[in-house]
Structure 1
C-alpha cells in the first residue's frame, strides 16, 4: 500500500503498526532524549500521516517538532486560550465549520483585529499553535491537511516592526516543517505594500513546495478565492455562502476554550504527547460538516 492508502486506515489497523514501531525506534536512536519517553501510537501516527508514512521524513518532522518546543518555551510552554481571550474575542481567528471540497480544514486570520499595542507577535502566534494542536488530533485533518486565508487588511508599520529576520525564520520553520500537519494552500488577501518587506523576510525560509502553494489575491479577492473554495465553505465576507465570519470566529473561540485542559496538558508534557486514542472523550473529532450545516 502507498502512503495515501495507508493514511486512510484507522489508527488501530495492524498494517500501520510496523511504521509506528519503526518511527518509535528511529526517534529513540536519533535523539537520546527520546529514549526516556514512550511515544504513544496515536502521537506517532500524526507525524506519519503528515508525511504519507515515509518513516525518514516523519522522523525529521518529529525531531523538528521536539526541537522547536525546546527552543521556543516562550511559545510552547503556554497554550492557554484564556491567556489570549481578548484577542480571540476581537474576532481575529476562525476555523471554518465546513471543510473544502477535498476535506481540508480552512483557517482564517484577520490582521485588522490584531492590535500590536495590546498583543505581541508571540501571543498572536500562540493562537495559531493552539489551533494547530487541536486540529492535528482530527483524523480527517491528518489525512486532508489545511488551507489558510490571511486577511491582511489593516496591516501597518506597527505590525511589521514586531517581526524581525530571526522571528521570521522561527515562524516559517515551525509552520513548514515542524508541525504534523499538511499545509495545502496559503492565501493572502488585502495584502498592502507594507507587507511585502515582511513576506520577503519569510519567503527564503520556506520550502519550495510551500512557496508554490502561496497565492496572492490582492483587494479584488472575492472572485479569485472562488477558484479554490466552494461557496458553502467561505463566509459571505469572502465571497461565499457559509457561516458569517464573526459567528465563525465566535464558534472557534468557544471550541478553543473547551479545549483549555487538553492544551494545558500538551504544554506541560515534555513532548506534547497526550494522545490516548480515538476513544479518549477529551479528544473529540470534528463534527461532520453536513451536520453542522443543519444547525
Structure 2
C-alpha cells in the first residue's frame, strides 16, 4: 500500500513510541503480510515487540522490513534453539555505550569437534536477540569486535559456501540490527581465504564496514571505539574482559525465559 516506500517523514517514525497510532498501523501491516504468507508457519504468534524491531531497523520501510522478516524465518525456523551446553562454551560480552551496544566474541574458544560453525553463529544470533531488545540499539545500530585468536584450520574448514551465505545474509539483511562496524582482531593468515568466501555475498555498504586489525590492534581499535568502553586487553582503560564476560553470562542467564518466549523455533 502507500506505506511500502515508507510514509512521508518515515525518518521521524523511529522517534515515536511503540504505542503511537502510526507505529501500530505499520506493525499491523507487517503482521498481515506475515500471516498471509502460506509458506511460512511461525511456531508462535508474532509479538508486536518482535515485529517492531524489523521496522525500526529499516526506518519503517515496510518492504525492507518484510524482506528481513522472511530471511529471519528462513534462518531461525529450521534450527533447534540454543543447547544448554553452548552457554559455557562461547564467551560473549555486552556493554551499552553511546546508545549502541558493542559485543565482543571470542571465536577461537569453541571446540570444532563439539560445535559447528553454525552453532557458534547461532549463539551470535541469539545474543543479537538480546541486543536488539534495547530500543536505542534498534535505532543506532551495533559495532562488534571478533577476536579470532586461536582460530584453527578445523574452524575454517567448517565454513562451507552454504554457511558463508547464511552468515552473510544475517550481516546484510536478515536480522533487525543495523551493523555499523565489524572489527576483526588477531585473525590468522588463513582467515583471509575464509573471508573471501563470505565477501561475495556482502553488500558494498557492509564490505566498507569490515575492518581487519591483525595483531596490532591496540591503537587502531581506539580510532573506532572510545577507550572508556574498550576492555583493558584491547587498549581500554576501565574494565577487564573477565568482568565483562561475567556480566554477560549473568545477563544471558537472566534472559533465558525471555529467549524462550521469543524463540521462533519449532520446539
Residue 232 (structure 1) aligns with:
228
Q: Which of residues 185, 188, 193 is equivalent to 1:192?
A: 188
Trace 1:143-182 onto structure 2 (pairs within 5 A).
143-182=139-178
Residue 86 of structure 2 is aligned to residue 84 of structure 1: yes
The root-mean-square deviation of aligned C-alpha atoms, in Å, is 2.2
Q: If the length of structure 1 is used for normalisation, what is the TM-score? A: 0.80
Q: Which of residues 9, 13, 23 is equivalent to 2:16?
A: 9
**Displacement after TM superposition at 1:208 (Å):** 1.7
Aligned in 2, Cα 1:221/1:269: closer, same or farther, shift over 3 Å?
A: closer
Structure 2 residues without counterparts, runs of 5 or longer? 1-7
SS at match of 1:12: coil
Q: After alignment, is 159-168 or 118-127 more displaced?
A: 118-127
Residue 93 (structure 1) aligns with:
92
- Whether the aligned pair in 2 keeps the contact of 1:79 and 1:267 (CA below 8 Å) is no
- Whether the aligned pair in 2 keeps the contact of 1:93 and 1:249 (CA below 8 Å) is yes
Residue 64 of structure 2 is aligned to residue 57 of structure 1: yes
Q: Deviations over 1:226-257 (max 9, x none)?
A: 11111111001111123211111121111111
Residue 281 (structure 1) aligns with:
none
Trace 1:3-152 onto structure 2 (pairs within 5 A).
3-29=10-36, 31-33=37-39, 39-70=46-77, 72-73=78-79, 77-80=80-83, 82-88=84-90, 92-95=91-94, 97-99=95-97, 101=98, 103-152=99-148
**Displacement after TM superposition at 1:11 (Å):** 0.9
CA distance in 1, matches of 2:75, 2:116: 19
Structure 1 residues without counterparts, runs of 5 or longer? 273-295
Residue 284 (structure 1) aligns with:
none
SS at match of 2:226: coil
Aligned in 2, Cα 1:155/1:232: closer, same or farther, shift over 3 Å?
A: same
- Whether the aligned pair in 2 keeps the contact of 1:155 and 1:194 (CA below 8 Å) is no
Residue 263 (structure 1) aligns with:
259
CA distance in 1, matches of 2:179, 2:172: 7
Aligned in 2, Cα 1:15/1:172: closer, same or farther, shift over 3 Å?
A: same
- Whether the aligned pair in 2 keeps the contact of 1:98 and 1:232 (CA below 8 Å) is no
- Whether the aligned pair in 1 keeps the contact of 2:81 and 2:265 (CA below 8 Å) is no
CA distance in 2, matches of 1:167, 1:264: 25
SS at match of 1:32: coil
Q: Deviations over 1:113-156 (max 9, x none)?
A: 22323433233122212201112122111111111101112222
Q: If the length of structure 2 is used for normalisation, what is the TM-score? A: 0.88
CA distance in 1, matches of 2:163, 2:89: 20
